[in-house]
Amino acid sequence: MYGLFLRHFYLITRSFPRVLDLVYWPTIQITLWGFISNFFATHTTYYNNAVGVILTCAILYDFLFRTSIGFNMLFLEEIWSRNFTNLFIAPMKIGEILTALVATALIRALIGLIPAVLLTSPLFGISILDLGIFLFFLFLSLYLFGITLGILVSAGLLRYGPSFENIAWSTMFLLAPFGCIYYPIEILPEVFQKIAYLLPLVYIFEEARNILINQTVDIQSIYNAFLWNGVYFVLSIVLFYYSFNVAKNKGTLINMGE
C-alpha cells in the first residue's frame, strides 16, 4: 500500500506540470465562479430583457473551446498513437502541417457546433442567429483565437514533450475568467481588467452581449478582437517554429514516440 502511494508521490514530485495541475483547477474554478456569483448578486436585472444571452455566450465559448481542444487533440493523437515521428519524417513543411491541422480543427469544431445551434431553438426558443451577420465575424474571431491557442500548446508539446499535455487541457480554463464570457468586464478587479483588454475574448463576448441586449453594433470592438487575434496568431506561429528548432536540438522529436 505504501509502495503504491510512493509510486504516485514520486511521479507527482518529479513533474512540475502535475503539481501545477493539482493547484490550477481549484484556483480557476473558484475564480471563475466567484466572478459569476458576484455579478449575479449585484446585477439581478441585467439579463431580464435579453433571454438567451447566457446561452448564446455559452455556445460561442464552446466553439472556441472545441476549436482549441480540437487542434490540441489532433497533435496529441499523433503522440498517443506513436505516429509522431512518422509525420515529422514525411516531406512536409511546418506550414503545411499547421495548415492541415487548422483546417481539420475547423471541421471538428463545426461538427460539434451545428447540433448545439440547432437544438437551442426548439429546446429554449433561442436562436444564436439573432446576432445577424456579425455572428460570422464573432465566430471567425473565436476560431482564430482557438487555433492560436492550439498552436501555442502544440509548440509547448514540441518543446517539452508529452509532459506538457496537462497544460494542453487547461489553457482554455485559465483564460475563461479573463474572457468575460458570462459577465461584463466591469465585474473584474481593475488589474484583471487590464489583462482582459489584452485578449480578444473580452471584445468578442462584450460585443455579443451588446448586440443582443442593446441591439447596436460597435465595429471598433470587432476590429479590436481581430487586431489582438492577429498579434497572438503571428506570435504563435513564430513560437511554433522556434519550438521546432529547439526540439531538433534537444532531441524531443525523436523521443516523442517512446
Contact residues: other proteins, CB under 8 A = 77, 81-93, 245, 248-251, 253-254, 257-258
Cβ 159 to other proteins, closest distance in Å? 14
Place of cell 475564480: 31
Of 112, 184, 122, 186, nearest to 146 (Cα)?
Answer: 112
Own/partner pairs, 217-221, CB within 8 angstroms, 24+ separation: 217/134
- Please state, in angstroms and rounded to a whole number, the distance separating the CA atoms of residues 115 and 109: 11
- Please state, in angstroms and rounded to a whole number, the distance separating the CA atoms of residues 128 and 118: 9
- Judged by beta carbon, residue 10 or residue 242, the one nearer other proteins is 242
- Please state, in angstroms and rounded to a whole number, the distance separating the CA atoms of residues 76 and 72: 6
Cβ 251 to other proteins, closest distance in Å? 6
* For helices 16-42 and 165-179, angle between their N-to-C axes, nearest 10 degrees: 20
Cβ 247 to other proteins, closest distance in Å? 8
- Judged by beta carbon, residue 83 or residue 215, the one nearer other proteins is 83
Cβ 107 to other proteins, closest distance in Å? 16
- Judged by beta carbon, residue 18 or residue 250, the one nearer other proteins is 250
- Judged by beta carbon, residue 8 or residue 248, the one nearer other proteins is 248
